């Protein structure tokens, strides 16, 4: 995290207004449970980063997320605050204006953001793992110096265009093309379900520069969204990730200069490596959503009285809570080990698939069970469980569906591709 006053847990003055707002609404504060002394496995810096973002989420994200959800709008006012905390591309090097954190600290940031809302974690994931990372990994030195510091400061927002209307799980089939035109390129095609699509300043667009079947010809392009022929349209009718911008992109004879091409990208491996970064963040993020639901359910079980005793005094609700605690504890330990492997440089994409698949599924189950424990109140937006439950259906689907990760792991075990 950027060495800023925020790192030292000094809450910038304008955040105090949100704190007062929280108190007015008597929003209960998150009460972390550390059943397996997980904190002892973290460094001081990792804990500090997590606690800083945790406090920011409690004071600034949670007070606005309910209304943002009802109004179906991404809370743009949070963008500069997250930049100030050093959240965007937090695991990329300081020489490009980023925080230079290790993978575990980065993961803990994703956990805390998604404890607030999957849509906010999505925004940060797309900005960091899907837009800044490809510029860092496949860009020229000039591109890195030009884009990364501005993106870290939240002055330039990115989106990532891989999925197409007819190619979701199978991006190798993409139809978007980039044809060389003098020094530059002309792009044509459509991208679907693109997070941040309507608010982005640039789009990382993946396109084929050769024949329609030539997967090796896939290259990445930094496309300014104000380029002539580029348009974005909001995806209407969502019942999930309501506080997130999801759009369809159309590229019609979009001309870009040579500086647009990510020179070191080539083949499907390029976008898939970006997905590995984002899936890693999602594995942590899902724990955050689960923690929020567990925290709310536990508190509710102690407060809600039926048959003259708290529902938490009944065996059925205790079973629910114990299953939640067990699943969260297992996920934390698994994901921490993944983070340590990533920092050692030995984590493999299949290990990331296992964590994304297991943790998102775990979080979906916990959100659903928490919602049920809350009875009728569980369907209200002023409680968190149902918002998380609906959000997690998208998380289950994007960045490789649960099924696709099953097949990735099945192939890893048997050597047979079953796609
Ligand atoms: P395949 O032949 O298996 O692989 C092609 C090349 O890529 C390499 N590779 C990877 N590299 C890094 N990370 C990974 N996860 C990788 N997976 C594969 C592979 O080694 C090979 O390299 P090389 O050198 O031999 O060329 O490719 P395939 O066409 O058979 O596809 C495999 C499959 C189905 C697993 C892949 O297409 C896939 O993962 N599909 C799911 C698509 C997906 O996840 N889309 C996500 C779109 S972005 C999004 O959802 C953002 S949501 C917003 C948010 O994050 O919050
Ligand atoms: P399909 O691929 O059509 O799959 C439909 C069903 O078939 C699924 O159940 C799937 O698991 C199953 N299936 C597919 N293939 C097989 C198989 N071989 N064997 C068995 N079952 C199979 N994409 C981006 O590029 N950028 C973004 O920013 C982005 N953001 C998103 C935000 C949201 C809210 C959502 C919902 C999606 C987003 N996506 C984004 C797209 C996302 O990655 C795709 O939705 C996902 O990869 C699945 O593709 P699909 O929806 O076309 O489903």
CATH number (domain holding residue 36): 1.10.540.10
Backbone angles phi, psi at 283, to 5 degrees: -55, -40
Using CA positions, which residue lies closest to atom 37 of ligand 1? 170
The CA distance from 383 to 371, in Å, is: 9
Ligand 1 and 122: CB distance under 6 A: yes
Give 289-326 pLDDT, tens digit per residue: 999 999 999 999 999 999 999 999 999 999 999 999 99
Report the pLDDT value the prediction gives residue 204, as an integer from 0 to 100.
99
Using CA positions, which residue lies closest to atom 26 of ligand 1? 269
β partners of residue 184: 181
Last residue of a domain, one of 193, 227, 260: 260
Report the pLDDT value the prediction gives residue 116, as an integer from 0 to 100.
98
Ligand 2 and 162: CB distance under 6 A: yes
**CA 96 vs CA 74, 107, 207, 328, 340: distances in Å:** 27, 20, 26, 35, 24
Contacts of 414 (CB under 8 A, 6+ apart): none
Q: Are residues 300 and 408 in the same domain?
A: yes
> Which atom of ligand 2 lies at the shortest distance from residue 170's CA?
2
Contacts of 177 (CB under 8 A, 6+ apart): 187, 188, 189, 207, 208, 209, 212
Q: Which residues are catalytic?
A: 399
Q: Are residues 94 and 206 in the same domain?
A: no
In a domain, 230, yes or no: yes
Using CA positions, which residue lies closest to atom 36 of ligand 1? 170
Cβ count near 253 (within 10 Å): 12
Ligand 1 and 60: CB distance under 6 A: no
Ligand 1 and 35: CB distance under 6 A: no
- CB-based burial label for 218 (10 Å; 0-12, 13-18, 19+): buried
The CA distance from 360 to 406, in Å, is: 13
Q: Are residues 273 and 290 in the same domain?
A: yes
Q: Which residues in the chain land under pLDDT 70?
A: 1-27
Chain-centroid distance of CA 336 in Å reads 17
Report the pLDDT value the prediction gives residue 10, as an integer from 0 to 100.
36
User: Considering its fold, how many domains does the chain have in total?
Assistant: 3
Ligand 1 and 79: CB distance under 6 A: no
In a domain, 419, yes or no: no
Cβ count near 291 (within 10 Å): 23
CATH number (domain holding residue 207): 2.40.110.10
- For the chain, how many residues are written? 419
* Range of the structural domain that residue 242 is part of: 158-260
The ligand whose atoms approach the alpha carbon of 390 most closely is 2
Distance 275 CA to ligand 1 centre (A): 7
Q: Are residues 244 and 289 in the same domain?
A: no
Ligand 1 and 348: CB distance under 6 A: no
Q: Are residues 238 and 280 in the same domain?
A: no
Ligand 2 and 193: CB distance under 6 A: yes
Q: Are residues 253 and 277 in the same domain?
A: no
Which residue from 124, 115, 119 is spatially nearest to 32, judged by alpha carbons? 115
Distance 148 CA to ligand 2 centre (A): 28
The CA distance from 381 to 390, in Å, is: 11
CATH number (domain holding residue 333): 1.20.140.10
Last residue of a domain, one of 260, 287, 320: 260
Cβ(302)–Cβ(310) under 8 Å? yes
Distance 68 CA to ligand 1 centre (A): 32
With both helix axes pointing from N to C terminus, report the angle between 385-397 and 118-125 in degrees, rounded to the nearest 10: 40
Report the pLDDT value the prediction gives residue 3, as an integer from 0 to 100.
42
- Token pair for residue 362? 């775990």
Q: Are residues 33 and 112 in the same domain?
A: yes
Using CA positions, which residue lies closest to atom 31 of ligand 2? 193
Query: Probe ligand 2: pick from 279, 401, 406, 419, max atoms within 8 Å of CB?
Result: 401
In a domain, 37, yes or no: yes
Using CA positions, which residue lies closest to atom 12 of ligand 1? 273
Report the pLDDT value the prediction gives residue 18, as an integer from 0 to 100.
53
In a domain, 389, yes or no: yes
Q: Are residues 37 and 103 in the same domain?
A: yes
Last residue of a domain, one of 152, 172, 207: 152
Ligand 1 and 391: CB distance under 6 A: no
Q: Are residues 13 and 143 in the same domain?
A: yes
Ligand 2 and 392: CB distance under 6 A: no
In a domain, 334, yes or no: yes
Report the pLDDT value the prediction gives residue 28, as an integer from 0 to 100.
81
Tell me, letter by letter, the H, E, C secondary structure of the chain. Answer: CCCCCCCCCCCCCCHHHHHHHHHHCCCCCCCCCCCCCHHHHCCHHHHHHHHHHHHHHHHHHHHHHHHHHHHCCCCCCHHHHHHHCCCCCCCCCHHHCCCCCCHHHHHHHHHHHHHHCHHHHHHHHHHHHHHHHHHHHHCCHHHHHHHHHHHHCCCCCEEEECCECCECCCHHHCCCEEEEECCEEEEEEEEEEEECCCCCCEEEEEEECCCCCCHHHEEEEEEECCCCCEEEEECCCCCCCCCCCEEEEEEEEEEECHHHECCCCCCCHHHHHHHHHHHHHHHHHHHHHHHHHHHHHHHHHHHCEECCEEHHHCHHHHHHHHHHHHHHHHHHHHHHHHHHHHHHCCCCHHHHHHHHHHHHHHHHHHHHHHHHHCHHHHHCCCCCHHHHHHHHHHHHHCCCCHHHHHHHHHHHHHCCCCC
Q: Are residues 303 and 399 in the same domain?
A: yes
Distance 165 CA to ligand 2 centre (A): 10
Query: Probe ligand 2: pick from 397, 410, 417, max atoms within 8 Å of CB?
Result: 397
Ligand 1 and 349: CB distance under 6 A: yes
Distance 169 CA to ligand 2 centre (A): 5
The CA distance from 226 to 221, in Å, is: 14
Tracing tokens 């050769």 back to the chain, one arrives at 210
Report the pLDDT value the prediction gives residue 19, as an integer from 0 to 100.
54
Cβ(135)–Cβ(127) under 8 Å? no
């Amino acid at each position: 995290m950027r060495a800023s006053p925020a790192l030292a847990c000094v809450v910038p003055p304008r955040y105090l207004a949100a704190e007062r707002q929280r108190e007015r609404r008597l929003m209960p504060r998150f009460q972390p449970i550390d059943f397996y002394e997980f904190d002892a496995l973290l460094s001081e810096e990792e804990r500090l980063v997590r606690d800083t973002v945790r406090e920011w989420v409690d004071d600034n994200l949670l007070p606005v997320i309910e209304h943002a959800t009802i109004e179906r709008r991404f809370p743009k006012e949070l963008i500069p605050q997250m930049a100030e905390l050093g959240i965007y591309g937090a695991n990329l090097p300081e020489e490009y204006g980023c925080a230079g954190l290790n993978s575990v600290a980065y993961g803990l940031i994703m956990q805390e953001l998604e404890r607030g809302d999957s849509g906010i974690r999505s925004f940060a994931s797309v900005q960091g793992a899907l837009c800044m990372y490809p510029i860092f990994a496949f860009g020229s030195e000039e591109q890195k110096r030009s884009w990364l510091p501005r993106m870290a400061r939240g002055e330039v927002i990115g989106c990532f265009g891989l999925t197409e209307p007819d190619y979701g799980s199978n991006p190798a089939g993409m139809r978007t093309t980039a044809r060389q035109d003098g020094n530059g390129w002309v792009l044509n095609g459509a991208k679907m379900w693109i997070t941040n699509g309507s608010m982005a300043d640039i789009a990382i667009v993946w396109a084929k520069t050769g024949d329609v079947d030539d997967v090796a010809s896939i290259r990445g392009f930094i496309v300014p969204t104000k380029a002539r022929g580029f348009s974005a349209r909001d995806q209407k009718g969502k019942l999930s990730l309501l506080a997130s911008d999801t759009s369809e992109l159309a590229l019609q004879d979009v001309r870009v200069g040579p500086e647009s091409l990510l020179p070191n990208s080539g083949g499907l491996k390029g976008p898939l490596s970006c997905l590995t970064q984002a899936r890693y963040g999602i594995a942590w993020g899902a724990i955050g959503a689960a923690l929020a639901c567990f925290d709310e359910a536990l508190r509710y079980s102690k407060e809600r009285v039926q048959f003259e005793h708290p529902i938490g005094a009944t065996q059925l609700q205790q079973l629910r809570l114990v299953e939640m605690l067990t699943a969260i504890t297992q996920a934390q330990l698994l994901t921490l080990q993944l983070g340590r492997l990533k920092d050692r440089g030995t984590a493999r994409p299949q290990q990331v698939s296992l964590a994304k698949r297991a943790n998102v599924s775990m979080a979906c189950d916990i959100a659903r069970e928490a919602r049920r424990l809350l009875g009728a109140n569980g369907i209200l937006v002023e409680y968190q469980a149902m918002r998380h439950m609906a959000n997690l259906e998208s998380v289950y689907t994007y960045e490789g569906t649960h099924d696709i990760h099953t097949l990735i792991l099945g192939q890893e075990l048997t050597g047979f591709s079953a796609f």
